[in-house]
């Protein structure tokens, strides 16, 4: 299935769709095709981190991969390919969504079920989403120095009520040091690392 892999890396949606259909015709199991799609995106993440691929290319690859996934997913009989569920959002008072969207997209590409709560999300809304979706991980984004304080409170509230949930944080002003100081379980400096971090925390 090298051709699927190559098409994902090139961000060629038509190619991926054709490739997936061909693989199915050749009798390859849907689960195997999904693995291939996810592995292709993992390579995209690696290249992005190394500076060999750039954000627009990653977006194109993710889009192509998603189209491929749409074809195969309905064919899975009862099996669940999901790595786990992640609830994600930008904290209250903060309207930035570019970084958070990028992270959500790469988490999805890594095989996670992502529930994106959007921007300006108060702690209560995170709590309600946790109750409803029972995620393994919650991801919080903050892009303003003022909303870092909100992030701290939101993380505190989540950990207090759901001690088994892993909370990860990110955003331009956020650092590992800050993440540690507010007792978050993980920090990622960029979107590709966020996907790696989530995988590490799940396993």
Partner 1 sequence: MILVGEKINTSLKGITEAVRSRDREFIARKAVEQAENGAHYIDVNCGTLIDEEVEALPWLVQVVQEAVDKPCCIDSPNPLALSAALRVHKGKPMINSITAEKERYDSIIKLVQEYNAAIVALVMDDEHGMPKDAPTRIKVGVRLIADLVQAGVALDDIYIDPLIQPISTDSNMALVAVDTIRGIREVYPGVHFMCGLSNVSFGLPRRGLLNRTFLVMCMLAGLDGAILDPGNREMMSMIYAAEALLNRDAYLKNYLKAYRSGLLD
The residues binding partner 1 (CB under 8 A) are: 51, 54-56, 59, 95-96, 98, 101-102, 119-120, 144-146, 148-149, 172-173, 175, 178
Tell the smallest beta-carbon distance from residue 169 to partner 1 (Å): 14
Tell the smallest beta-carbon distance from residue 81 to partner 1 (Å): 27
- Identify the CA nearest to 120 among candidates 86, 147, 152, 90: 90
Q: Which is nearer to partner 1, 36 or 53 (by Cβ)? A: 53
Q: Which is nearer to partner 1, 87 or 192 (by Cβ)? A: 192
Q: Which is nearer to partner 1, 94 or 196 (by Cβ)? A: 94
- Identify the CA nearest to 151 among candidates 114, 112, 178, 118: 178
Tell the smallest beta-carbon distance from residue 165 to partner 1 (Å): 24
Tell the smallest beta-carbon distance from residue 95 to partner 1 (Å): 4
Spatial separation of the C-alpha atoms in residues 116 and 85, rounded to whole Å: 11
CA distances from 193 to 13, 18, 25, 54 (A): 24, 30, 35, 14
Spatial separation of the C-alpha atoms in residues 153 and 130, rounded to whole Å: 16
């Amino acid at each position: 299935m090298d051709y699927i892999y190559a098409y994902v890396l090139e961000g060629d949606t038509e190619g991926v769709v054709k490739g997936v259909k061909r693989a199915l015709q050749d009798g390859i199991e849907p689960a195997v095709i999904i693995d291939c799609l996810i592995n292709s995106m993992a390579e995209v993440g690696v290249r992005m981190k190394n500076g060999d691929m750039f954000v627009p290319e990653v977006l194109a690859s993710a889009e192509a991969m998603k189209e491929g996934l749409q074809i195969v997913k309905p064919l899975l009989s009862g099996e669940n390919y999901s790595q786990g569920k992640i609830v994600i959002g930008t904290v209250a008072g903060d309207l930035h969504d570019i970084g958070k969207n990028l992270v959500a997209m790469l988490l999805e590409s890594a095989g996670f079920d992502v529930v994106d709560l959007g921007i300006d999300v108060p702690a209560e809304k995170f709590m309600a989403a946790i109750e409803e979706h029972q995620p393994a991980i919650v991801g919080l984004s903050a892009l303003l120095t003022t909303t870092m304080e909100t992030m701290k409170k939101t993380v505190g509230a989540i950990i207090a009520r759901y001690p088994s949930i892993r909370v990860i944080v990110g955003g331009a002003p956020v650092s590992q040091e800050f993440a540690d100081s507010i007792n978050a379980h993980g920090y990622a400096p960029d979107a590709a690392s966020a996907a790696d971090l989530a995988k590490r925390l799940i396993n």
